[in-house]
Structure 1
Amino acid sequence: MLFTALVALLVTLVLWALYFRRSRLPNEPPLDRGAVPWLGHALAFGKDAAKFLSKMKEKHGDIFTVQAAGKFVTVLLDPHSYDAVVWESNNKLDFNKYACLLMERMFDVRLPDYDPATEKAMMKLHLQNKSLHMLTKAMFSNLNTILLHDREKLSPEWKEEGLFAFGYSVMMRAGYLTLYGNESVHYNNPLLQTKDLEHSAEVYNEFYQLDQLLMKLARSMLSTEEKKEATRIKKHLWELLSRRRLNAKVNRSSWLDSYRSHLEELGVDDVMQSKALLLQLWATQGNAGPAAFWLLFFLLKHPDAMAAVQAELESVYKGKGQETEAIKQEDLDSTPTFDSVLSETLRLTGTPFITREVLEDMPLKLADGREYRLRKGDRLCLFPYLSPQMDSEVYKDPEKFKYDRFLNADGTKKEDFYKGGKKLKYYNMPWGAGNNVCIGKLHAINSIKQFVFILLTNFDLELKDPDEKIPSFDTSRYGFGMVQPRSDVKIHYKRKKSVRW
């Protein structure tokens, strides 16, 4: 007992020594270590980053350093100054180190000689430009399979389901088939469509269970039982994404084949390849479904927005209906009202951190002329959700959904937003910015548009409770992309007797 007490005392003394070792040096941002040695503000930061960082901003201003689980994190909340971070050289502010940490914690991925610049260049080649057309066409066909060939969804009678479960399932399954392949080259073979439906459902069901544990995995907070469950689910998904399984697929995207070749060139074995492909499944599909949920929820809650979107879709897509094999890119680019609805949805619910590791002591000059010193070994973090996205100086009534917030009076895209009397370059940042902007942005936008188009064309849907309130956020997901609701929203839907458009 005495020995244990002495060890505990020694550990406490070490922690207090570490706690008081750090002090604010001249020209460094305000420092807030928190009341608990080493742990600092980690619990409050992880539980509700928006609430915690809002309090810190009120206390310290738009730049400050906090301690969280032994790490010192400098948070910058001045959008005019974001350029100084998002375009800084990786030799000074590095994205890779923290990304690799999360890759290993969440997905057990360890890649030798990992070079994200090479990977991004490869992904850009296969997710943008000429390749985008093929992805859009494949996504349209797979959305049709999931929505219009699943017997459970084809009843002419009203059916009840959770909107989040509905949207996430459809988007993830269609996205998975688009990138990872089908059972047959022929999308319209009923027997093989059934196999695609069954297989994509199996992948989604396992993926969704893992998704519910990912935030705890990222923070190393799983219980013993949760660790066992996470391991079981991941092993099943690794098998579903194994070389043997994927080699049997057709219609695989050029991205998939190129990424697998890239892993082979790195000398990655088959098991680690499956792990990396699970990571990519989350990276490519983890946000589109939640985004589609929020967009549909806001449309159902705001009849004026729904009417405006339906009128625009009817005008753009009239006569195309479900018989078409694809929607042209020029049509997808001709929906300013829908674009405004999507931008407003992402403004309200897109909450990624933009994070960099500080590799050397360096100055950080803000847009207003202030200059601070950043310390080597610290982490630098932007949280655009707080500013500019929910900043009342940038947006009037920022907590409210306004479908035309990103439209000018003449119906064109609005891009003029101001803070401190100065026009903002970054006024809405759900896709990130600078060197690490989302490579798959255009594919994701096309996919969401097509999903909503097919859904509104072929189904009637309504909220079970017209007075349904906006569900509260799962605040543990702040920093990891789209937030998810704490509880689902029930909808009624049925297949239309005839396609109006």
Structure 2
Amino acid sequence: MLLFMAFWNKKKAFGHRSIDPSDGNTTENINSTFNKTLQGKALDALTEAMMENLQFVLRSPVPPTSKSAAWVTEGMYSFCYRVMFEAGYLTLFGRDLTTLDTQKALILNNLDNFKQFDKVFPALAAGLPIQAFKTAHRAREKLAEGLRHDSLRTRASVSDLIRLRMHLNDTLSTFNDAEKAKTHLAILWASQANTIPATFWSLFQTIRSPEALKAATEEVNKALESAGQQLSFEGNPIHLNQMQLNDLPILDSIIKEALRLSSASLNIRTAKENFTLHLEDGSYNIRKDDIIALYPQLMHLDPEIYPDPLTFKYDRYLDENKKTKTTFYSNGIKLKYYYMPFGSGATICPGRLFAVQEIKQFLILMLSYFELELVESQAKCPPLDQSRAGLGILPPLNDIEFKYKLKHVSMCG
């Protein structure tokens, strides 16, 4: 849910009235809802469900082992989009109680509609009406139709986040059924729109760097062995608890570095009083109600903080002991803030912990189950799609082909 709060109030984009209690449509404290359902013990259940659903999605399209020796070639961004969308949708909104084929068809239809809606989101965020985009408008309405409360109540394993939001929508708001569904659509967008490209960049940079691929694979294998996991594609699913997932500094560093290079978010603040803002290049007199936009990418690409800033270095966030590095400097001054893809302060992304965990889980499964190669060994890094600047993680402007096939794995604990 990267950078969710900054865009929650883009109510016109999603089609519901404001969720700010001061506007009188609801008395729900949305920050409290997210804190209860996306952090602490609630994060455990959400992460476990995501791991289960990722393995369900990754296993379902792969042919039987006897036929799995052949490489499968696919666009990497398309692959990440398909896998993360389906697993994320199932994790938040539960499983359809009809046949697996019916559920798969419904999610693929939702995926197509999501892509159509998300394609025009930069224009919607800029204030253009969705009615100007007929295909995207239809797609939004179809997505919301499947998120009505009467539909969600028929699904199994709906997340605590959505169950609580359903209850609060019904008891604390004046939203009609269509608007309630569209508040869930906002959560769907927030959970996918930035996590999907972040997943792509994390996988792409890992495969592209032989050193990163070797180090990450070794770390994952060691973690699974320590956890006593029996690793078999057809066997029991992989399970790592929160403590085990948090003890993977190499994967953490890879994800941080991938996000540093692809994040183009904006941190927007409104001054509550007159004050003077002191920066390295001078001082600025700020008036009450002035709007200040901070652009963390300038910091992320600052060579004083990150030498050779345009180069992916998988161990940039590791110290000499391969533990997490937490000290960075600029002009000899220790920095409090040096990494801000999730925003900061009161509006920091409430789903940041879950976002990192689900990307990490995806990498664990890909490195454990598959042999991975880029189709072109010297594939150039695709350019960033600058049309989404300000919205979070920039996707690639073009897809990159990669190939994968099942490993013949057998790891007994």
Q: C-alpha displacement at 1:370, in angstroms?
A: 5.8
SS at match of 2:393: coil
Q: Secondary structure at the match of 1:428?
A: coil
Q: 1:276 aligns with which of 144, 167, 183?
A: 183
Aligned to 1:165: 78
- Return the alpha-carbon distance in structure 2 between the equivalents of residues 236 and 180 of structure 1: 15
Q: CA RMSD in A?
A: 2.5
Structure 1 residue 112, shift from structure 2 partner? 5.3
Aligned match of 1:476: 387
| Counterpart residue number, 2:298 | 386
Displacement of 1:223: 9.6
Q: Distance in 2 between matches of 1:435 and 1:250?
A: 33
Structure 1: stretches of 5+ with no match in the other structure: 1-94, 185-190
SS for the counterpart of 2:29 is: helix
Match in the other structure for 2:46: 135
CA positional deviation for 1:249: 0.6
1:204 to 111, 126, 132: 111
Q: 2:29 aligns with which of 112, 118, 125?
A: 118
Q: In the alignment, what sits opposite 1:435?
A: 346
Q: 1:239 aligns with which of 133, 136, 145?
A: 145
Distance 1:357 1:121 in 2: 22
Alignment of 1:74-473 (within 5 A): 99=7, 102-104=10-12, 106-111=13-18, 113-114=20-21, 118-151=29-62, 156=68, 157-184=70-97, 192-220=99-127, 227-264=133-170, 265-318=172-225, 319-320=228-229, 321=231, 323-324=236-237, 326-358=239-271, 362-366=274-278, 371-387=283-299, 389-473=300-384
Q: 1:113 to 1:456 in 2, by over 3 A?
A: closer
Please give the alpha-carbon distance, in whole angstroms, between the structure 2 residues aligned to 1:381 and 1:313.
39
Q: Which amino acid aligns with 2:113?
A: E
Contact 2:268 2:292 in 1 (8 A): yes
Contact 1:145-1:197 at 8 Å conserved across structures:
no
* Contact kept in structure 1, 2:373 and 2:404, CA below 8 Å: yes
- Counterpart in 2 of 1:36? none
SS state at 2:42 partner: helix
CA deviation string 1:95-148 (max 9, x = no partner): 98x7566232x2123135436992111111111111111111111111111101
Unaligned runs of 5+ in 2: none
Structure 2 counterpart SS, 1:481 = strand
TM-score by length of 1: 0.74
The residue type equivalent to 2:37 in the other structure is H
Q: In structure 2, how many angstroms separate the alpha carbons of the residues matched to 1:223 and 1:342? A: 34
Q: What's the TM-score once normalised by structure 2's chain length?
A: 0.89
Please report how far the alpha carbon of residue 426 of structure 1 lies from its aligned counterpart in structure 2 after TM superposition: 0.7
Letter in 2 for 1:260: M
Amino acid aligned to 1:182: R
Q: Which residue of 2 aligns with 1:89?
A: none
Query: In terms of mean alpha carbon deviation, does 488-497 or 471-480 score higher?
Result: 488-497
1:221 positional shift = 5.2
Given residue 153 of structure 2, which amino acid in structure 1 is its aligned partner? N
Q: Distance in 1 between matches of 2:316 and 2:62?
A: 39
Structure 1 range deviating more: 307-316 or 288-297:
288-297
3-state DSSP of counterpart to 1:351? strand
Deviations 1:297-322 (A, max 9, x none): 11111011000000000000125225
Give distance in 2, aligned partners of 1:108 and 1:222.
Answer: 10
Q: What one-letter code is carried by the residue in structure 1 that aligns with 2:347?
A: N
Deviation per CA, 1:352-378, whole angstroms, max 9, x where unpaired?
1011234x5511432669653323554
Q: Alpha-carbon deviation of 1:245?
A: 1.6
CA contact (8 A) 2:110 2:143 kept: yes
Identical columns (%): 32
C-alpha distance in structure 2 between counterparts of 1:274 and 1:124, whole Å: 21
Once residues 406 and 204 of structure 1 are traced to their aligned partners in structure 2, the CA distance between those partners, rounded to angstroms, is: 34
SS state of the match for residue 343, structure 1? helix
Partner secondary structure for residue 373 of structure 2? strand
Q: Which moved more, 1:325-334 or 1:231-240?
A: 325-334
- Partners in 2 of 1:255 and 1:223 — Cα distance? 27
- The one-character-per-residue Cα deviations of 1:12-65 (angstroms, maximum 9, x if unpaired) are xxxxxxxxxxxxxxxxxxxxxxxxxxxxxxxxxxxxxxxxxxxxxxxxxxxxxx
- Give the counterpart letter for 2:178 in structure 1: V
1:30 corresponding residue in structure 2: none
Rg larger in structure: 1
1:204-259 per-position Cα deviation (integer Å, ceiling 9, x unaligned): 221112111111222245797x5111211111111111222211111011110111
CA distance in 2, matches of 1:125, 1:407: 31
Counterpart CA distance in 1 for 2:395 and 2:136 is 20
CA distance in 1, matches of 2:296, 2:345: 13
Q: What is the CA distance between 1:283 and its match in structure 2?
A: 0.9
Residue 336 of structure 1 and its aligned partner are, at CA, apart by 0.8
Equivalent position amino acid for 2:277 in 1:
K
